[in-house]
Amino acid sequence: MPELPEVETTMRGIKPHLLGRKITQVLVREPRLRWPVPHNLGQLATGQQIQSVDRRAKYLKIHLGNGAIMVHLGMSGSLRIVDPKVPVQKHDHVDLNLSSGLILRYRDPRKFGSFHWLDGNADSHPLLSSLGPEPLSSDFTGQYLFDTSRGRKVAIKNFLMNSHVVAGVGNIYANEALFMAGIRPTRAAGNVSLTRYRRLADCIKAVLQAAIEKGGTTLRDFVGGTGEAGYFAHALNVYGRSGYPCPVCGRRLREIRIGQRGSVFCSRCQT
């Protein structure tokens, strides 16, 4: 499940293969993703040179001369640079052929991902315009979380996973950051002190940054190979570890459902 670190790592991995190349052909085998792939994507993108590649939340943006292609990986999507000799497999929904002769290939078994076309003013797109700050940016602070959360009764874990509050913090890293900060995921967002929010903001940044650094090694092979993304499972303290001992105090980690998402925490360390 690509979380922000995987998207960032994907972006860094494919970027050198994209910059300065032209898109020579767009092949959409399956347009029925989370939203339909724009029918005129090929018409818009073919012949255009790639100017830059960046990320906003978990959206990857490929900027062309006349607009940008925006991709979301959903929870099972991947983008890989492949040689044309690599056979197309099931769930390979979109190919962007590049002037280098290589292909940027999108695969997504569960089709939760999406392709969008952004015209000139990219950030005015409705999916981008209402996003909260990037968690790794200086705009994202404990003070910001404190101010934004006043009067909110929602569980802090859901609060963190709300993209209007902060962009791109998914289930895994919400669990991990709350554990690291010692905050129980069910606690009302409006009932967390500024001191604890400062610590939480630091923990979110730390856990994302660490995963990006690990992702740099786990996901290094973007050309050929299997391209399988590691889930950084070895680095996780609580996610997927329900029933196992807390790495800090040894008590059995508990799992509950918050907002239909699995939430794992230590009932001793997290208050």
109 noted as active-site residue: no
Quote the least distance from Cβ 90 to DNA, whole Å.
6
Stretch that binds DNA, among 12-20, 38-46, 145-153, 224-232 (CB under 7 A): 145-153
Using CB under 7 A as the binding criterion, the count of chain residues that bind DNA stands at: 37
214 noted as active-site residue: no
- Catalytic, out of 56, 58, 80, 199: 58
Site string for DNA, 66-105 (x = CB under 7 A): ------x-xxx-------------xx--------------
Query: Interface residues for DNA in 221-250 (CB under 7 A)?
Result: none
| Binding flag, residue 261, DNA (CB under 7 A) | yes
Quote the least distance from Cβ 141 to DNA, whole Å.
19
Two tokens at 269?
């360390």
Q: Which of 142, 168, 185, 227 binds DNA (CB under 7 A)?
A: 168
261 noted as active-site residue: yes
Stretch that binds DNA, among 11-19, 21-29, 98-106, 162-170 (CB under 7 A): 162-170
30 noted as active-site residue: no
Quote the least distance from Cβ 188 to DNA, whole Å.
7
| Binding flag, residue 151, DNA (CB under 7 A) | yes
- Angstrom distance (rounded) from CA 5 to CA 56: 12
| Binding flag, residue 29, DNA (CB under 7 A) | no
Query: Interface residues for DNA in 169-188 (CB under 7 A)?
Result: 170-172
Catalytic residue list? 2-3, 58, 261
